[in-house]
């Protein structure tokens, strides 16, 4: 894939990380300069600590804009990060198969407000961690679009997802949107003038 100047991929795994066969690992290998958030303890769903690790990962690469691809509990950590760090370098987000905050004891501190950037929540009818209805509600609360994958389980290796080509398409679409918005922001007003 062609390197897109200034926009890189940030992988935010869920509980227990994303192994070699997971779609996040497949996606990461397709983007030069991609970076993965590593947690101190992959088995403890500590929302503030996971959110802080996202901030630390971003701080290690100043001046870069990121598109984040999160999975499961990583989606909650990313949402928490974006609300607590409104100036975050994460400019767009793909949140796949979020985990239900109530199941992990973090409902009270999981954001229910707009994340103030473009993105998408992807849900499934058969996800044991969050119903499609709750995923749709979270997408609406976070101000993101919703994509429904039908009978796709938790959209992980156990559900049969190693490669996930739509994730690459969604990331590419988010990057194109950021690039388009940046061109409009940088454009001189004279570029929009038309000869009469």
Sheet holding 65-71, edge to edge: 35-36, 7-12, 65-71, 90-96, 119-123, 145-148
For residue 50, give Cα distances in angstroms to 55, 122, 141.
9, 21, 21
At residue 8, the 3 state secondary structure works out as strand
Kindly state the DSSP code that residue 110 receives in the 8-state scheme: S
Tokens of 191: 């570029």
Q: Provide the whole-model pTM.
A: 0.88
- pLDDT tens for the chain, 196 residues: list them: 343 346 999 999 999 999 898 999 999 999 999 999 999 999 999 999 999 999 999 999 999 999 999 999 999 999 999 999 999 999 999 999 999 999 999 999 999 999 999 999 999 998 999 999 999 999 999 999 999 887 887 877 787 777 888 889 999 999 998 888 776 655 554 544 444 3
């Amino acid at each position: 894939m062609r390197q897109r100047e200034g926009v890189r991929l940030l992988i935010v795994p869920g509980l227990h990380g994303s192994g070699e066969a997971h779609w996040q690992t497949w996606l990461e290998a397709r983007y030069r300069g991609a970076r993965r958030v590593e947690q101190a303890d992959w088995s403890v769903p500590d929302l503030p600590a996971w959110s802080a690790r996202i901030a630390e990962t971003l701080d290690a690469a100043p001046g870069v804009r990121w598109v984040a691809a999160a999975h499961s509990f990583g989606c909650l950590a990313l949402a928490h990060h974006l609300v607590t760090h409104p100036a975050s370098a994460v400019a767009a987000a793909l949140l796949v198969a979020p985990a239900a905050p109530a199941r992990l004891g973090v409902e009270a501190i999981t954001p229910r407000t707009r994340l103030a950037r473009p993105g998408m929540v992807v849900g499934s009818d058969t996800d044991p961690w969050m119903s499609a209805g709750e995923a749709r509600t979270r997408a609406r609360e976070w101000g993101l679009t919703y994509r429904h994958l039908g009978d796709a389980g938790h959209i992980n290796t156990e559900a049969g997802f190693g490669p996930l080509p739509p994730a690459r398409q969604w990331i590419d679409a988010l990057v194109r949107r950021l690039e388009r918005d940046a061109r409009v922001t940088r454009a001189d007003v004279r570029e929009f003038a038309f000869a009469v």
